[in-house]
Amino acid sequence: MRLLILVLYGVLLFLAFNQLDSYMLDLIAALRGQLILVSFLPVGLSYFYSKKMASSLLVLSTILTLVHFKPYSSNQREVGDIKVTQINLQYSNPNLQQIIYNQMIEEKNDILVLLEFNDTQRHVLDNLNTEYHLFGYAEVEGAPFGIIVISKLPIIQKQIKRFDNPKLGYVKLSFLHNNIMLNSLVFHPPSPRDRTLWTQRNSVLSKVQNEIKTLGGNWLIAGDFNTVPWSRYFIEADNNCFDRSGFYVTWPSKIQFNGLPVLGLPIDHCIASEKIRLTNINTSFVKGSDHRSLTYEVKLSKQ
Q: What is the 3-state secondary structure (H, E, C) of 113-180?
A: EEECCCHHHHHHHHHHHHCCEEECCCCCCCCHHHCEEEECCCEEEEEEEECCCCCCEEEEEEEEECCE
**Looking at residues 169-177, what average pLDDT do you find?**
97
Q: Which fold has domain 82-299?
A: Deoxyribonuclease I; Chain A (3.60.10)
Are the CB atoms for 227 and 205 separated by under 8 Å?
yes
Q: Which of 14, 68, 61 is nearest to 40 (CA)?
A: 61
The C-alpha atoms of residue 198 and residue 193 are separated, in whole angstroms, by 7
Domain ranges of the chain: 2-69, 82-299
**Looking at residues 146-153, what average pLDDT do you find?**
97
Maximum CA pair distance of the chain? 72
Are the CB atoms for 75 and 281 separated by under 8 Å?
yes
Confidence of residue 1 (pLDDT cuts 50, 70, 90): confident
The C-alpha atoms of residue 219 and residue 223 are separated, in whole angstroms, by 14
Residue 202 has pLDDT above 60, yes or no: yes
User: What is the model's pLDDT at position 256?
Assistant: 53
Confidence of residue 257 (pLDDT cuts 50, 70, 90): very low
Are the CB atoms for 136 and 128 separated by under 8 Å?
no
**Range scoring the smallest mean pLDDT among 6-10, 71-75, 298-302:** 71-75
The C-alpha atoms of residue 26 and residue 20 are separated, in whole angstroms, by 7
User: What is the model's pLDDT at position 78?
Assistant: 81
Q: Is the sign of the CA dihedral 65, 66, 71, 74 positive or negative? A: negative
User: What is the model's pLDDT at position 242?
Assistant: 94
Confidence of residue 83 (pLDDT cuts 50, 70, 90): very high
User: What is the model's pLDDT at position 60?
Assistant: 97
Give the tens place of pLDDT for each residue, 40-61: 999 999 988 898 999 999 999 9
Give the tens place of pLDDT for each residue, 17-26: 999 999 999 9
Q: Which of 211, 167, 156 is nearest to 185 (CA)?
A: 211
Task: Enter the DSSP assignment of 106.
Answer: I
User: What is the model's pLDDT at position 73?
Assistant: 62
Q: Which of 155, 154, 135, 153 is nearest to 145 (CA)?
A: 135
**Looking at residues 99-118, what average pLDDT do you find?**
96
User: What is the model's pLDDT at position 261?
Assistant: 67
The C-alpha atoms of residue 93 and residue 117 are separated, in whole angstroms, by 9
Are the CB atoms for 240 and 234 separated by under 8 Å?
no
Neighbours of 9 (CB within 10 A): 22
Q: What percent of the chain has pLDDT over 90?
A: 81
248 Cβ contact list (under 8 Å, min separation 6): 241, 242, 261, 266, 281, 282, 283, 294
Mean pLDDT for the chain overall: 93
Residue 255 has pLDDT above 60, yes or no: no
